[in-house]
């Protein structure tokens, strides 16, 4: 593999000190912003360089749920060291990377208290998708962060979340009560924090197709433009689902009674997404199984099988790609069938589902994000239309396809 040069997007260079490593003049780094702003990618590079230049670091990388780390933070760290031909040892079991200078990275889930006991000696803690964490999660780690060799630092990277009326996310309350401009780092002296809000224009590698989608929301859904493009905490108007919550797990008594899987196809810019669905009376549970880009058909099959999809389980898939459906059937998913689409079927199903209580599962970040922003389209005058807004709807589409087949092609009056 040819060596890839390390290129830091200009905006993120504000996170470096004069010695070319992560700044040491603050304890906290609140780095948040819109979709495709390269926050996580840049943090991997910054921490990688810091670990290489300063021996003996113990850099801890966390997310709320341990199971999400292998394919996100740990994978990105491995990719960084491999692409740049940087010598390292990795331990797939403990999700650990060790450099020749004895700097090391280790990934932990905040839902694993036993492994969190191993944080002794940490020099830097990076909390990816920090909006999933509670303030108590952070405070418990912060209290134990007192390294000898380097100043202890905590980094929070995340997208903004839709605002709940008369409520403020703890990250907003704790760090963002100061004026700060897009792409310009400022110091919140009271909080001992650097604050940086970024957007897709800070990412020189943001695909043109993504730029067009994000910029299109400026006309069709201004609140979503603020949230996804500008990276602002904002209240979304016209959200489809307000009838959902987050639970730790699917109840054990129904775990074997799934109604099947919904599957939405993607490839390059759009992820392939699969969810498993359970229904009991007027309650629905949804578990994210797959959410990845760049999956050719063999790789998608492998992901589905690894996620527990069985050969004769009902899988309702996007009928727009009969070639993929045929391939997955050939590979061994014999229960796969195309969704029977009709005009406005998604809008009809979404309306009917408002009469249910929907339960999402803790740690399913992509599914939770999409449900929180799934909204009705609006015209250029801001009037809400009886049409769903397109974009960032892969798990929701998969869910709606499965529910459409499960409930049958009926009208709202037939169900409610």
Give whichever of 39-53, 114-128, 136-150 has the largest mean pLDDT. 39-53
DSSP string, 192-207: TEEEEEE-GGG-TT--
Which pLDDT value is given to residue 360? 94
Mean pLDDT over 394-411 rounds to 85
Which pLDDT value is given to residue 32? 97
For residue 165, what pLDDT band results from cuts at 50, 70 and 90?
low
For residue 161, what pLDDT band results from cuts at 50, 70 and 90?
confident
- Alpha helices by DSSP H, listed for 150-284, are 170-175, 208-220, 222-224
For residue 412, what pLDDT band results from cuts at 50, 70 and 90?
very low
| pLDDT, tens digit, 9 for 90 and up, residues 71-91 | 899 999 999 999 999 999 999
Mean pLDDT over 319-334 rounds to 95
Which pLDDT value is given to residue 411? 44
Mean pLDDT over 392-407 rounds to 93
| pLDDT, tens digit, 9 for 90 and up, residues 266-287 | 877 789 999 999 999 999 999 9
Tokens 């589902």 map to which residue?
353
**Which has the higher per-residue pLDDT, 239 or 60?**
60
Delimiting residues of CATH 3.40.50.300 domain(s) in the chain = 10-202
What are the tokens at 184? 């310009």
With both helix axes pointing from N to C terminus, report the angle between 394-407 and 365-373 in degrees, rounded to the nearest 10. 80
For residue 114, what pLDDT band results from cuts at 50, 70 and 90?
low
Distances (CA, A) of 318 to 204, 241, 274, 279, 398: 32, 22, 11, 21, 8
Q: What is the pTM assigned to this prediction?
A: 0.75
For the domain 244-408, what is the CATH code? Answer: 3.30.420.280
Mean pLDDT over 391-411 rounds to 85
| pLDDT, tens digit, 9 for 90 and up, residues 180-193 | 999 999 999 999 99
Delimiting residues of CATH 3.30.420.280 domain(s) in the chain = 244-408
For residue 1, what pLDDT band results from cuts at 50, 70 and 90?
low
Percentage of residues of the chain with pLDDT beyond 70: 95
Percentages (nearest 5) of helix, strand, coil residues in the chain: 35, 25, 45
CA dihedral 386, 160, 33, 25 (to 10 degrees): 170
For residue 335, what pLDDT band results from cuts at 50, 70 and 90?
very high
| pLDDT, tens digit, 9 for 90 and up, residues 117-132 | 668 899 999 999 999 8
Q: Classify 287 as helix, strand or coil.
A: strand
Q: Which has the closest alpha carbon to 174: 129, 131, 235, 123?
A: 131
Superfamily of domain 10-202: P-loop containing nucleotide triphosphate hydrolases (3.40.50.300)
Residue 379 predicted with pLDDT over 90 = no
Q: Which has the closest alpha carbon to 373: 360, 390, 354, 356?
A: 390
Which pLDDT value is given to residue 413? 34
Distances (CA, A) of 397 to 69, 238, 388: 25, 17, 11
Residue 101 predicted with pLDDT over 90 = yes
């Amino acid at each position: 593999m040819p060596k890839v040069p390390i290129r830091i997007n200009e905006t993120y260079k504000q996170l470096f000190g004069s010695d070319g490593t992560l700044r040491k003049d603050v304890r906290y780094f609140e780095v948040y912003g819109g979709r495709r702003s390269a926050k996580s990618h840049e943090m991997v590079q910054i921490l990688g360089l810091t670990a290489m230049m300063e021996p003996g670091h113990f850099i801890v990388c966390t997310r709320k749920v341990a199971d999400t780390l292998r394919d996100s933070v740990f994978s990105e760290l491995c990719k960084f060291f491999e692409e740049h031909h940087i010598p390292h040892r990795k331990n797939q079991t403990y999700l650990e990377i060790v450099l020749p200078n004895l700097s090391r990275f280790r990934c932990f889930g905040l839902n694993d208290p036993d492994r969190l006991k191993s944080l002794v000696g940490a020099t830097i803690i990076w909390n990816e998708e920090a909006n999933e964490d509670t303030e108590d999660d952070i405070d418990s780690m912060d209290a134990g962060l007192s390294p000898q060799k380097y100043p202890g630092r905590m980094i929070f990277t995340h997208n903004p979340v839709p605002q709940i009326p008369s409520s403020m996310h703890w990250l907003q309350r704790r760090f963002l009560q100061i004026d700060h401009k897009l792409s310009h780092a400022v110091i919140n002296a009271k909080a001992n924090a650097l604050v940086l809000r970024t957007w897709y224009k800070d990412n020189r590698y943001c695909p043109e197709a993504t730029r067009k989608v994000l910029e299109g929301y400026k006309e069709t859904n201004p609140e979503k433009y603020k949230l996804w493009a500008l990276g602002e905490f904002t209240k979304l108007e016209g959200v489809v689902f307000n009838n959902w919550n987050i639970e730790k797990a699917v109840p054990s008594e129904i775990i074997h009674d799934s109604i099947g899987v919904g599957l939405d196809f993607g490839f390059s810019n759009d992820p392939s997404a699969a969810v498993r669905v359970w229904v009991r009376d007027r309650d629905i549970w949804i578990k994210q199984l797959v959410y990845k880009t760049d999956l050719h058909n063999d790789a998608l099959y492998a992901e589905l099988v690894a996620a527990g999809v069985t050969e004769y389980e009902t899988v309702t898939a996007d009928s727009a790609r009969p070639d993929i459906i045929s391939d997955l059937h050939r590979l061994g998913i014999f229960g796969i069938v195309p969704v029977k689409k009709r005009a406005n079927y998604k809008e009809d199903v979404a309306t009917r589902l408002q009469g249910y209580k929907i339960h999402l599962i803790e740690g399913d970040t992509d599914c939770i994000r999409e449900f929180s922003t799934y909204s009705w389209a609006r015209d250029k005058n801001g009037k809400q239309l009886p049409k769903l807004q397109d974009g960032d709807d892969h798990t929701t589409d998969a869910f709606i396809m499965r529910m459409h087949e499960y409930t049958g092609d009926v009208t709202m009056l037939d169900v409610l």
